[in-house]
Structure 1
Amino acid sequence: MQSLTRILGSWGPLAQRPSGGELLHSSLGAALGLALSGLLVWLGAADKLLFLFAPLGASAVLVFAVPNSPLAQPWPAIMGNTLSALWALLLLAALPHLPSPWPEALAVGGAIAVMLLCRALHPPGGAMALLVVLAAAKLVPLGWHLIATVFLLTLALVLAGVFYHRATRRTYPLRRTPPAQARQPTAGRLALSNDDLAALLTRFDQSYNLSPDDLGELLAAAEEQAIQRRFAAVTCGEVMSAQLLTVAPTDSLETVADLFHRHLVKSLPVVGPQGELLGLLLRSDLFDWLWEGHRRSRWRQLLRPRTPAATVRKLMRAPEICVQEATPLGELLGTLARHTVAFIPVLRGNQLAGLITRTDVIRALLKLR
């Protein structure tokens, strides 16, 4: 009984239920794409230049419902249909008296081989080859006119897909990763190059279902989701360093320079009288300021009227990132991966409660292993 249930389950639907927006986006796009193709047929009706063909509907499903699939890209769509029609015509011309079912079988099998060789695998191309054989009496006499029709209408459908997806802020066609970037980790988040991802797709026979960029995005998203779930129970307040070295906005820069000299830190938090975080002072900003001051000639420094000592307020800058004590550590890991900050201030309300450095995060990761 369990084996029967398993067999029946394997024949059931595997795809997730689409959202309302995805359902409307795909169906409306396919309808508009075929409407454009139908309009071109209507414009050429007087001279019977163009005519709709059934596999175009299957191409519309790929172009508008699964635009990220390598099978739906412009080259496979246009050339897959066109080459399949051309193959079927050549087959019927070479073997006009071949008995059924051999013409049908050779047309579809040969079309698949041609599309694979030309890197243009497009499932509707098999239907296109079969259609030419089944309707040979009407289609074969058209010759090159049939090839032009298939090419032009598929091109029109693909162009409709390009404009439609761009108008709805979808990516189509897929953009190739430049060779210079192909050797870099995908999206800066994975220690895998595009060549590694392509090898994985080939290993699991998924080269025609996903592109390396798609697989990289999925792996990176899955990795982030797993990290967030694993460290959801650990808060930033549990990981932060509570022993703080801070400065006030009224402290003189000369005093802070001595503080930087005594402590090997790259930046210091600036806090107000109530412990509220006001900003950050970077060691690099302070040293640049000091260097500009020493570059003046000795005579200009002596002749310069005495001015009040510069304070931290002059050079402090707003912090790039802040988190609250209750923020889960998992939410912070992705932020640290994308930014090069020395530390992240942890707040209790608007007051500075502690700091999180990369060392603190590594220590927490090792404890949770």
Structure 2
Amino acid sequence: MRSGGKRWGNWQLKPMLPGATLRERLVACLGALVGIALTGLISGWIVGKGPHIPMIVAPMGASAVLLFAVPASPLAQPWSIIGGNTLSALIGVTAAHLIPDPVAAIGVGVSVAIAVMSLTRCLHPPGGAAALTALIGGPAVTSSGFLFPFVPVGLNSLVLVGLGIVFHRLARRQYPHRPAATPANTHGTADLPAPLRVGFRAGDLDAALLTLDETLDIDRADLDRLLREIEYKALARSHGALTCADIMSRDVVTIGMHERVERARELLFQHDIRTLPVVDAADRLVGTVGLRELILRSMGDIAQAMSAARTAGPDEPALVLVPALTDGRTHAVVVTAPDRRVLGIVTQTDMLATLARAATTQALLPP
């Protein structure tokens, strides 16, 4: 009995969704509280109070769950909420007017709503409830007729999405969600970007999805990014003993942010390197400069030419730098202390030597 209770407790405490931390759940609850309350308040202020029309409809509660609890879901994006709810309610009202039998009307209304949402790329589960509400919502909905899909359903959806955008921005969460950008070849040639030349390819992902024969609630680009991140994490774990401090160059050539561009060019050629960390008067890292920046700006201070630096801590696994050093633009990652002092630098050459040594060691191990 005790072991069964323990299993029940573990099941209860385990997040139902990946990444669903306690903080994320609390933020979702706060967002729903603010979003639903203000949606009802604002909509009631616009349309007025009274029995002639509801100030907020029930499907908004389900929309709030998606909007605040899983804002990265394709089903929770602005067009999905606004289009899905409004179009579905319109389908429900139309079915109520065209089909006398209420049982047939509710079946047709919900099924056609799903089809229309799918065709218009705004699939949103609460849309089914919006269609059903339009069919069985009672006298207030019936008296509204074809106005109901727009006021209050469309109005509620617009207000809720607007509040969601503001809330997520204040909470420093990305919304609307932008799927991960596919790595691009920055050299203007027909080759695939370096990260896409090894491991799985787009065709493999499509074939796996076809084999599973299931619809997943995640954007395809996000799924691709997730799987590649898993590859990198597994690679770092298998060679986790090596840290950035183990492979970094420690005698780092730096340049002050107020020195001249000409001096940076001189140092790059003198030491045959591609990236210079830029430091302030206290020797803290403020950016990097390389040949690309010097071509774009041939005169002036380094502070006007430098770019943001890619950084890592000395204790981080060295192989977690592989994505940055293979993106086609980053030639070095600067290793820094917590106070931003430069401790070392890991270049593409350092990483290549590390990977080559790891592969050689693995090949020499007995089977």
Q: TM-score, normalised by structure 2?
A: 0.63
Q: Aligned residues, how many?
A: 295
Hey, what's the Cα distance between the residues in 2 that align with 1:77 and 1:63? 8
1:307-328 CA distance string (max 9 Å, x none): xxxxxxxxxxxx997986x864
Partner of 2:305: none
Partner of 2:168: 165
Paired residues for 1:171-182 under 5 Å: 171-175=174-178
The alpha-carbon deviation at position 213 of structure 1 amounts to 3.4
Hey, what's the Cα distance between the residues in 1 that align with 2:102 and 2:44? 36
The alpha-carbon deviation at position 18 of structure 1 amounts to 3.6
Q: State yes or no: 1:191 paired with 2:196.
A: yes
The alpha-carbon deviation at position 128 of structure 1 amounts to 1.2
Say if 1:129 and 1:189 are closer, same or farther in 2 by CA, change over 3 A: farther
Hey, what's the Cα distance between the residues in 1 that align with 2:290 and 2:124? 58
Larger of the two Rg values belongs to structure:
1
The alpha-carbon deviation at position 336 of structure 1 amounts to 3.4
Hey, what's the Cα distance between the residues in 1 that align with 2:273 and 2:19? 50
Query: Percent same amino acid among aligned pairs?
Result: 32
Q: Is the 8 A contact 2:85 2:126 kept in 1?
A: yes
Q: Is the 8 A contact 1:344 1:357 kept in 2?
A: no
Q: State yes or no: 1:330 paired with 2:332.
A: no
Q: Is the 8 A contact 1:189 1:337 kept in 2?
A: yes
Q: State yes or no: 1:64 paired with 2:64.
A: no
Hey, what's the Cα distance between the residues in 2 that align with 1:41 and 1:146? 13
Say if 1:115 and 1:221 are closer, same or farther in 2 by CA, change over 3 A: same
Hey, what's the Cα distance between the residues in 2 that align with 1:75 and 1:138? 27
Q: Is the 8 A contact 2:310 2:332 kept in 1?
A: no
Partner of 1:29: 31
Partner of 1:89: 93
Give the secondary-structure state (helix, strand or coil) at the position aligned to 2:196: coil
Partner of 2:148: 146
Q: Is the 8 A contact 1:29 1:161 kept in 2?
A: yes
Say if 1:165 and 1:225 are closer, same or farther in 2 by CA, change over 3 A: same
Determine which of 55, 58, 62 is the counterpart of 1:54. 58
Partner of 1:266: 272
The alpha-carbon deviation at position 236 of structure 1 amounts to 6.5
Paired residues for 1:190-209 under 5 Å: 190-191=195-196, 199=206, 203=210, 204=212, 209=217
Hey, what's the Cα distance between the residues in 1 that align with 2:204 and 2:112? 30
Q: Is the 8 A contact 1:76 1:122 kept in 2?
A: yes
Hey, what's the Cα distance between the residues in 1 that align with 2:94 and 2:233? 52
Determine which of 345, 353, 361 is the counterpart of 1:360. 353
Q: Is the 8 A contact 1:71 1:121 kept in 2?
A: yes
Hey, what's the Cα distance between the residues in 2 that align with 1:213 and 1:148? 33
Say if 1:219 and 1:39 are closer, same or farther in 2 by CA, change over 3 A: same
Name the aligned partner's letter for residue 172 of structure 2.
R
Partner of 1:110: 112
Partner of 2:339: none
Say if 1:138 and 1:40 are closer, same or farther in 2 by CA, change over 3 A: same
RMSD: 4.9
1:155-176 CA distance string (max 9 Å, x none): 1001111111111111111237
The alpha-carbon deviation at position 69 of structure 1 amounts to 0.4
| Structure 2: unaligned runs, 5 residues or longer | 1-7, 187-192, 254-265, 275-288, 296-308, 336-341
Partner of 2:240: 232
Name the aligned partner's letter for residue 159 of structure 2.
A
Q: Is the 8 A contact 2:31 2:167 kept in 1?
A: yes
Hey, what's the Cα distance between the residues in 2 that align with 1:63 and 1:156? 12
Q: Is the 8 A contact 1:197 1:216 kept in 2?
A: no
Q: Is the 8 A contact 1:230 1:330 kept in 2?
A: no
| Structure 1: unaligned runs, 5 residues or longer | 1-7, 247-256, 269-281, 289-318
Q: Is the 8 A contact 2:311 2:334 kept in 1?
A: yes
Q: State yes or no: 1:78 paired with 2:85.
A: no
